[in-house]
Structure 1
Amino acid sequence: MRFLVLGGTAWLGGQVATAALARGHEVSCLARGTSGSPPDGAALVRADRDDAEAYDLVGRTDWDVVVDVARQPGHVRRATEALHDRCGRYVFVSSLNVYADHATPGADESAALLPPLGGDVMENMETYGEAKVACEQHVLGAFGQDRVLVARAGLIGGPGDVSGRTGYWPLRLARPASGDGQVLVPDIGDHATQVLDVRDLAAWLVDAGASGTAGAFNATGETVPFAAHLDAARTVADHHGALVTAPEDWLTEHDVQPWMGPRSLPLWLPEPEYAGFADRDNSAARAAGLTLRPLEETLADVLEWELAEGADRSRGAGLTRAEEGELLEDYAQEQPRDPRRRSTAP
């Protein structure tokens, strides 16, 4: 089959192109080419999706499947206008951020969505969810429900995760900031986490697109309690030190942020408002062929990638070694009678 990947030179798009090539499909990638090159065997069509004529060349060709990972509604609107008569199936990667409520664990695809962004341009990440809703609507309006797969992705992880969210814990546990192996963690042991390996997502997008699967799906990993996620990360990192579990309010008072960004602790989400963000029902996607590898495999592979990239490089999420060292000292000094360290004894 003929696949057109709108992107294909960055992380997820590149994995989609790789998966399609591995299955014997013919693959072209439309991209500026500034993020890198497409995988060997894929053709690169250089274009800037901000340009009105970006789709002129690919709009003269018939495609079996188009895969789009865009976040800007204008990019998606122009693509669907140019390709709706040239494409059999349109696969759009959306996000769980489209949902209006993130407080309900186990919610499925019938949950209410945010209102769509009114314009073509998402000015900042504060309207990311609304922008993705608008993108979904452009795709459905152009192709109809029977020709569209919408994958509402949760946290995507694995090798190549430059956000740092899935690599932080195995890397920190493999390279503790303290000499005695202590690692600072939020005291959220029973909070849910969901990590979807980028390779599993890419494989499913290709296979579902090729088979004509249609509909909206929550594309997420298995729901795993934070404590169990840490146990898996400790195993792949061969960590034997103590976990210093600091209460959420203490972390907030010391300017530690949840989820992502500088001076943060990944996978920590405030509850109750985000109790369901990492606990979405993925049963529909699994019934439609989404296959998930073990979490330990994803964490082991992202740890190998992190170490190859450089353990002390600037990262998009987490604490630096210096920041964590200072916080561990502060916590020990402020709470000498209740260090709240979880034993590492078997």
Structure 2
Amino acid sequence: MRILVLGGTAFLSAEIARQAVAAGHDVTCFARGTSANPPDGATWVRGERTLGAAAYAQVAHGWDAVVDVSRDPVQARDALEALGAVTEHWTFVSSCSVYADHSLPGADESAALLESLPEGQAGSPETYGESKSAIEHMTLGLVGEKAHIVRSGLIGGPGDGTDRYGYWPARFAANTGTVLVPDIPAAATQIIDVRDLASWILRSAERRLVGTYNALGDVVRFGDYITESRRIAGALEDEVVLPSEDWLVAQGVDYWAGPDSLPLWLPPGHDGFQARSNRAARDAGMTLRPWQETLSATLEDERMRGLDRERKAGLSRGTEQRLVALWREMQR
């Protein structure tokens, strides 16, 4: 197949391009390339999506499949208008952040969505869900009969730049003897390996699969994830300090992601955020490797990148030590 990846230089889009090349497809990546180059074997067309529909002049010819991971509705519409008519199959990688309610575990693709960002308004980090919702709406409106909408959840595995899924195995692997963990053993985690997601997107394009699907991993209890992180890191003898959620909030620790956060810990009302149904995608051919394999590969990648590097998510070592001391003092 002749495949155009709008991107192809970062994490998921790069993995899609890499797997497509390995499968023998003719792959073109349309990207600026400011942070990385496309995978070897792919044709690189340098392009700047902020220039509008005219930016696609070099690639505005027949494609068997286009894959777009955009989060900006303006740029997504430009691509759809420039390439939709000359493409046989269109994949848009959306997000489960499009859903309006994250409280109900097991919800499927029929759940209500956030209101779309107004027409012509550019996306921002603060309007991520609304932006993805808007792109879904315009994709279905412009190329709906050939559209595959992929609502991904948290993506993990080697190369993850968000530092969320890898925080815990890397933290235990640092061998400091004490690790602060939120006391939420029964909470749900739901991560899909980037390699599995890319594989399903590619195989779906080969099959011309259309429709909207939650592309998610299976649910794993946070306690099981922590236990396995300790095991593969060789840290089963380390002390685990388990402060309450209320105490962590009172100390200014953030949920989920970002500096001074505890990754994968969610605020109240988000019981379904990492516990949505992936049955439809499973029935449509999505396959998942064991989550323990993803975790091991993630730790290997973390070791290569440096266990003590500055991270985008998680507690700094100094902050963690301060919190451990405070919690112990309170327990006396």
CA contact (8 A) 1:62 1:86 kept: yes
1:184 aligns with 2:183: no
SS in 2 for 1:85: helix
CA contact (8 A) 1:256 1:263 kept: yes
Determine the structure 1 residue equivalent to 2:104. Answer: 104
Determine the structure 1 residue equivalent to 2:150. Answer: 151
1:250 aligns with 2:247: yes
Determine the structure 1 residue equivalent to 2:273. Answer: 277
1 CA distance for matches of 2:271 and 2:259?
Answer: 23
1:264 aligns with 2:261: yes
Distance change >3 Å, CA 108–CA 210, structure 1 → 2: same
CA contact (8 A) 2:257 2:263 kept: yes
1:17 aligns with 2:50: no
CA contact (8 A) 1:29 1:38 kept: yes
The 5 Å alignment of 1:1-346 reads 1-52=1-52, 53-59=54-60, 61-144=61-144, 146-176=145-175, 178=176, 181-240=177-236, 241-271=238-268, 273-336=269-332
CA contact (8 A) 1:185 1:243 kept: yes
The residue type paired with residue 250 of structure 1 is W
Give the C-alpha shift of residue 120 in structure 1: 3.5
In structure 2, stretches of 5+ residues that fail to align are none
Give the C-alpha shift of residue 242 in structure 1: 2.2
1 CA distance for matches of 2:124 and 2:38?
Answer: 27
2 CA distance for matches of 1:246 and 1:58?
Answer: 54
Determine the structure 2 residue equivalent to 1:342. Answer: none
Give the C-alpha shift of residue 121 in structure 1: 4.1
The residue type paired with residue 82 of structure 1 is A
2 CA distance for matches of 1:68 and 1:232?
Answer: 34
In structure 1, stretches of 5+ residues that fail to align are 337-346
Give the C-alpha shift of residue 123 in structure 1: 4.9
Give the C-alpha shift of residue 71 in structure 1: 0.1
1 CA distance for matches of 2:321 and 2:289?
Answer: 34
If the length of structure 2 is used for normalisation, what is the TM-score? 0.97
CA contact (8 A) 1:115 1:133 kept: yes
CA contact (8 A) 1:116 1:130 kept: yes
2 CA distance for matches of 1:120 and 1:183?
Answer: 47
1 CA distance for matches of 2:62 and 2:257?
Answer: 40
Distance change >3 Å, CA 285–CA 123, structure 1 → 2: closer
What is the count of residue pairs matched by the alignment?
Answer: 330
Determine the structure 2 residue equivalent to 1:341. Answer: none
SS in 2 for 1:166: coil
Give the C-alpha shift of residue 125 in structure 1: 1.7
The residue type paired with residue 334 of structure 1 is M
Give the C-alpha shift of residue 148 in structure 1: 0.7
The residue type paired with residue 55 of structure 2 is A
Determine the structure 2 residue equivalent to 1:344. Answer: none
CA contact (8 A) 1:232 1:295 kept: no
1 CA distance for matches of 2:330 and 2:86?
Answer: 65
Cα deviation per residue 1:199-253 (whole Å; 9 max; x = unaligned)?
1000110000110111111111110111011112112111121221110011011
